[in-house]
Amino acid sequence: MQNSTKRDYQIKRTELFDGDVHLQQLSNHHCPMMARSCCCIKSACGCDSYCDVASTIQVEGELAGLYWYSIDQAFLLSQYSTFSLSFVQANIKLEKYSGLQIYFHEQTQEEKFQRKYRNELDRFLSKGNLTVREDGCVVEQIHLNNLSQEENQDLDCENDLNVSY
C-alpha cells in the first residue's frame, strides 16, 4: 500500500489478495530521495520508526485461486510512505551476473554489460513484482511469472554501470 499524499490515513481493517502485494519489503529510507517516513507496524516493517502497534497477518484461505489474507488491527499509513508486508514464505536467492549480447562489427565500440540475476526458489512463488536492491538503493523492479519449486528465471535489468568493454 502506498500513501503518496500529504495526509496520514488510519486503517482499521484491510484484506490482501496474493498478487496485490509486494514480494519484498520496501522501506522509505532505502534512497535519500525517498526518505520521508515509514509504515507504522514495526513487526511487519524493516524500518526503525517507532510504532506501538504489533500486528499480525491472518491467512483467511483461498478464494477462487487467490490467497486471501487479512489484517484486523488498526494501523497508521503515514504520509509519503509505502507499507509492505513480508509474508511470502518462499526463500528467494538471487545471483548477480553480467551479460552481453553483441553483434560483430568492423568498428571499435564501447558498451555496457547488462545486469542480470538468476533466481533460485525453495517453493512455489506466484507471479508479481520483485524489487531488487543493492547497497540500500532500489536497482530495478521486475515482474515475475509463476515459478514452481527449483524453477529458475533469469531476470534482466538495465545496463550495469560497473562493467563495460
Beta bridge partners of 119: 94
- Res. 111: pLDDT tops 90: no
For residues 10-18, give the mean pLDDT.
80
Q: How many angstroms separate the CA atoms of 102 and 58, rounded? A: 50
Banded pLDDT at 6 (limits 50, 70, 90) = very high
Beta bridge partners of 158: none
- Res. 92: pLDDT tops 50: yes
C-alpha cell at 93: 536467492
**Could you tell me which of 161, 55, 38 has the C-alpha nearest to residue 111?**
161
pLDDT score, position 46: 40
pLDDT score, position 7: 92
Lowest mean pLDDT among 13-27, 99-113, 121-135, 147-161: 13-27
User: What is the residue-averaged pLDDT of the chain?
Assistant: 68
This prediction has a pTM of 0.41
